[in-house]
């Protein structure tokens, strides 16, 4: 679905010479102990954008996790044959932003009620997953999900998975910072996919 939508606006992208450059990586003080979090929320371009805006996030990398094969390609993952999920790995400074705060960013950027798809992207490769690294992250993830369930916000079950992190494979370079490097194609995809409207319906205006 995403590939077809991108192709439909290729001519617009060629006409746009103002593609923005990626934002510079924030400086990190020597000796700073960084941490890593991994989230799946459908299209990894959109998840990257959400976390790039968070103070304390040092970098985001689109990639794949949870499958049976090593070094999968985008074509293998998007076909659903490799078992991997599109993910974003977030490197963050825990002295500035905690894992629990990243979870607070994650939830309102996904549809937690729909299994094996996010918005217009269908299939288990696009399902929403929290991939905690270690027992501390897992406990925080489970507590966050339980709090959302208790909140009464939704009258349907939350189907977002919590699965231990496994090998992470970075996606191809053209996927990294896609929303910055290809803003016309990205905005067209995001609008046509209905992501913003569905998030507003679920969580209210951003």
Q: Which one of the listed residues 43, 46, 120, 193 is annotated catalytic?
A: 43
Length of the chain: 206
Q: Name which of 64, 65, 58 is nearest 35 in CA terms.
A: 58
43 is an active site residue: yes
Give burial (CB, 10 Å; 0-12/13-18/19+) of 202.
Answer: middle
d(Cα 40, Cα 8) in Å, to the nearest integer? 26
Q: Taking Cα atoms as reference points, which of 106, 104, 124, 105 lies closest to residue 114?
A: 124
Check the CA dihedral 3-5-6-8 and report its sign: positive
d(CA 188, CA 66): 29
Residue 187's alpha-carbon distances to 43, 90, 96, 114, 178, in angstroms, are 13, 22, 30, 23, 11
Give me the active site residues, please: 43
């Amino acid at each position: 679905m995403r590939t077809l939508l991108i192709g439909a606006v290729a001519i617009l992208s060629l006409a746009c010479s103002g593609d923005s450059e990626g934002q510079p990586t924030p400086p990190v003080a020597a000796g700073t102990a960084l941490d890593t979090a991994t989230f799946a929320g459908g299209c990894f371009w959109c998840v990257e954008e959400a976390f790039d805006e968070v103070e304390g996030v040092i970098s985001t990398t689109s990639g794949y996790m949870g499958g049976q094969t090593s070094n999968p390609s985008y074509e293998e993952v998007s076909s659903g044959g490799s078992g991997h999920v599109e993910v974003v790995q977030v490197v963050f400074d825990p002295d500035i932003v905690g894992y629990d705060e990243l979870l607070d960013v994650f939830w309102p950027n996904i549809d937690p009620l729909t299994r094996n798809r996010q918005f217009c992207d269908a299939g288990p490769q696009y399902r929403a997953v929290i991939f905690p690294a270690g027992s501390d992250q897992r406990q925080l993830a489970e507590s966050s999900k339980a709090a959302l369930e208790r909140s009464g916000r939704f009258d349907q079950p939350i189907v977002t998975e919590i699965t231990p992190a496994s090998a992470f494979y970075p996606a191809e370079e053209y996927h990294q910072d896609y929303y910055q490097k290809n803003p016309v194609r990205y905005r067209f995809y995001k609008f046509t996919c209905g992501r913003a409207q569905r998030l507003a319906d679920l969580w209210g205006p951003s």
